[in-house]
Structure 1
Amino acid sequence: MAAGATIHTFDVDLSDVDRGVYESFSLRAARHPSETEAFLLTRVLAYCLEFADGIAFSEGISTKEEPAVLVRDATGAITTWIEIGAPDASRLHTGSKQAERTVVYTHRDPDKVAALWAGKRIHEAERIELRSFDPGFIERVVGALGRRNALTVSAVEGRLYLELGGESFDSELLSRPAQG
């Protein structure tokens, strides 16, 4: 755990109808002092929406060798490299070379994030998926975020439904190639 980090806990009920994933689990996320609540929430949602055997948070922003979230197979190999926010092109290049699948979840304007990568050398950039939410969605949900959270996440037909802190939120789950 990072020094000075704030621990947030999430008791998650996940119903990802789109992928056929139905799970309940507890999740502890350490928020580094330089990490915004929007980044933390996006990281937690990425974890939920990519939930699979072998998923884990990395050591955090202090490590450059791993993404924010990753999925490993039984041999320890990284199968899914999951970045958050607006990672630089070199991180995407590394992730795309190391993992079968690379995806970025952003709480920012996806067009502006994708523009950062235009013309940059990224291994198999056309395979990298950029996922985002409706404008303002993350900011609205952050208002209900606490240190201890009961979070219900439902993904149905490309739409995301959340219940957090007694409030309900929904957003389209937008997806596009990172380049092209």
Structure 2
Amino acid sequence: MAIGSTIHVFTVQLADIDRGVYEDFTLRVARHPSETDAYMMTRVLAYCLEYEEGIEFGTGVSTTDEPAVLVRDLTGSITAWIEVGAPDAARLHAGSKLAGRAAVYTHRDPEFVMAAWTGKTIHRADALVLRSFDAGFIEAAVALLARRNALSLSLTEGELYLELGGTTLSSQVHEHRLA
């Protein structure tokens, strides 16, 4: 018998001062059995830090034609392709061609992730942004995860403050560019 996805609920208070986004919302996140907690946490952070009208999670890890997070306009066209982890260059190339912008959020070593893209063709590579967090930040957040979570996020001047399970963590949101 196959193991199903585990549902995590996040009640989010978002204050992205850098972009002027202030929202309260609830996320129901299905964590596939093959997905690590670190990947799921990074996926939730990517959703929150990219939050805008039309944002949604992709259809899942088994789907290759959608990213982990995407933004659609009112016509249903994808305007932002947001990957998580260490996607391959071909996937980024296709996503960047399809959407107006592309970004990657990683819980892995950003130098390792970018090294895999070296010499590969990525459409508008100069516009691609890879975002990472301080070492140990994602692991510390994962240690606080429960099935139901109250999550408070504040981003100001590139510094992320996360309150989860009564504990406050902070990290710089590092931006890396290919060109």
Q: Percent identity?
A: 62
Aligned counterpart, 1:114? 114
Question: Residue 163 of structure 2: SS of its match in structure 1?
Answer: strand
How far apart, CA to CA, are the structure 1 residues paired with 2:174 and 2:141? 17
**Which amino acid letter does the alignment assign opposite residue 34 of structure 2?**
S
Aligned counterpart, 2:8? 8
Q: Residue deviations 1:39-66, cap 9 Å, x none?
A: 0000000000000000000111111001
Structure 1 consecutive aligned stretches of length 4 or more whose deviation exceeds 4 Å: none
**Which amino acid letter does the alignment assign opposite residue 41 of structure 1?**
M
Give 1:124 deviation, angstroms: 1.3
How far apart, CA to CA, are the structure 2 residues paired with 1:17 and 1:31? 29
Aligned counterpart, 2:28? 28
Aligned counterpart, 1:91? 91
Question: Residue 18 of structure 2: SS of its match in structure 1?
Answer: coil
Aligned counterpart, 2:19? 19
Give 1:121 deviation, angstroms: 1.2
Question: Residue 162 of structure 1: SS of its match in structure 2?
Answer: strand
**Which amino acid letter does the alignment assign opposite residue 17 of structure 1?**
I
Question: Residue 44 of structure 1: SS of its match in structure 2?
Answer: helix
Paired residue total: 178
How far apart, CA to CA, are the structure 1 residues paired with 2:135 and 2:91? 25
**Which amino acid letter does the alignment assign opposite residue 157 of structure 1?**
E
How far apart, CA to CA, are the structure 2 residues paired with 1:88 and 1:147? 30
Aligned counterpart, 2:173? 173
Q: State the TM-score, normalized to the length of structure 2.
A: 0.98
Alignment of 1:23-172 (within 5 A): 23-172=23-172
Question: Residue 117 of structure 1: SS of its match in structure 2?
Answer: coil
Give 1:3 deviation, angstroms: 6.0
Q: Give the root-mean-square deviation of aligned CA atoms.
A: 1.0
**Which amino acid letter does the alignment assign opposite residue 18 of structure 1?**
D
Give 1:129 deviation, angstroms: 0.4
**Which amino acid letter does the alignment assign opposite residue 168 of structure 2?**
S
Q: State the TM-score, normalized to the length of structure 1.
A: 0.97
How far apart, CA to CA, are the structure 1 residues paired with 2:145 and 2:152? 13
Q: Residue deviations 1:55-113, cap 9 Å, x none?
A: 00011111100100000011111110000000011110011100111000000111110
How far apart, CA to CA, are the structure 1 residues paired with 2:170 and 2:24? 20
5+ long unaligned stretches in structure 1: none
Question: Residue 62 of structure 2: SS of its match in structure 1?
Answer: coil
Give 1:126 deviation, angstroms: 1.2
Give 1:147 deviation, angstroms: 0.6
